[in-house]
Amino acid sequence: MSVLFTLENHVARVVIDRPERMNAVDRATSDELETIWRKIEADPTVRCVVLTGSGERAFSAGADLKDNNGLSGLEYWASANPLGFGGIALRRSLKVPVIARVNGLALGGGMEMVLGCDIVIASDKARFGLPEAKVGNLPLAGGMTLLQRLVPRNIAVGLMMTGRMASAVEMERYGLVNAVVPQDELDAEVDRWIADILASAPLCVQAIKSTVRETGEMPPDQAQAVRSPELIAALTSEDSLEGVRAFREKRAPVWQGK
């Protein structure tokens, strides 16, 4: 097994466990990740996901170049996972928030997986980059389409055209990273974000994720008119009544997720 998976207290943790390969993703690892994403999607008890890599050197160095089976760039593009790198970069069926715990290098497909997450918490040692052009390739599994939507356009094309790496502090300044902390504080910071997510109504969190992802490219008036199933479910839920009751009774709400 090259991916570790645990589920405890509504939090799923997914760890790419190939530290000797800088947590690069080969075909077997990609298949394991897909199995895990589907397992999470099928489990209504999951309220938050944390994605990371083993060790302190790398979140993921992207695709394992020793595992390309001799494919040309065009063949790789044609056979690429439509859900993006690692099955997460372009995935829309995963309804719960995903936190990227970036503990080191996030390069190529590793950065593409970060781009598919909802919240990014990074060590001050983390570095981000899409260096594919330096090896005669392209960020085909989500990078070219996602990065320009998440950071300013010139920053995105500058990183991709030069293959330069950006620090966690830089990516925080550009708006991709939510928080940067020292390496030894990374887990504590991730846990604080998890606690805040779990303190919020789960159906509301899902509705926020769904609405933001579905309407990000729409004009505001069209976006305002969207009535997604997740939005309706949140507004008609028992939790919506519980939230008001708890506020009036000056107590913490007890969320049921229904």
Phi then psi dihedrals of residue 83, to 5 deg? -90, 5
56 counts as catalytic = no
132 counts as catalytic = yes
d(CA 252, CA 241): 13
Q: What is the DSSP letter of 57?
A: T
Phi then psi dihedrals of residue 15, to 5 deg? -125, 120
Please identify which of the residues 8, 34, 41, 112 carries the catalytic annotation.
112
Please identify which of the residues 20, 75, 132, 172 carries the catalytic annotation.
132
d(CA 212, CA 42): 22
Closest by Cα among 122, 113, 123, 129 to 178? 122
d(CA 65, CA 108): 11
DSSP reduced 3-state for 121: strand
d(CA 147, CA 161): 13
Q: Which two tokens stand for residue 75?
A: 């063949």
Which residue in this structure is represented by tokens 């829309």? 92
Residue 105 burial (CB count, 10 A): 23
Residues designated as active site: 112, 132
